[in-house]
Amino acid sequence: MDTLAWMDVALQKAEESLRAGEVPVGCLFIYNNEIIATGNNTVNETCNATRHAEINCIDQVLKFCKEKRMDHETVFHELDVIVTVEPCIMCMSALLQLQVRSIVYGCANDRFGGCVSVLEVPKFYDPKITIQGNVKGEEAMRLLQIFYKGVNPNAPELKAKKGRNTKGTSTTENK
């Protein structure tokens, strides 16, 4: 498997996500040295916080297996996952439960990372999996930085707590 070439394709998917106003994460699921699923985050598009690139790829693999009349468990066990950002805790848990063969990711995910950054999810399983990070990590991080410099139109507005001053003591208004 040419990890660097696959990561280049995943980075292109991440750039598509960025142009679509989504967190720029790109993901590929490789089976028998062929891409059988590609994913982007679609959280903003679907207004569904679980629609991460990896979850979208999982759905595509299930559809692929149904159409080809293949056993999805067997296919998942032979899958190599290429993703531009360290899978979050939710996605890492899903990938480990599906027993994918390997995960290669670009940059660390310091907010939600499930490989090592926030929670080492593999410790909760008995994984027979290869995990490799920091493959073209700088390129992946650059895309995230571009995204977070902008404004996410679907992020909730911050609301200041009413009736409080900066010292945290309650205030009242005269009507």
Rounded-to-integer distance, Cα 26 and Cα 105, Å: 10
138 counts as catalytic? no
Beta pairing partners, 113: 88
* Residue whose structure tokens are 């950002």: 85
88 and 109 Cβ atoms separated by less than 8 Å = yes
Q: Of 15, 22, 45, 54, which residue is the catalytic one?
A: 54
Rounded-to-integer distance, Cα 37 and Cα 61, Å: 6
Q: Which of 28, 12, 140 is nearest to 79 (CA)?
A: 28
Q: Please identify every residue annotated as catalytic.
A: 54
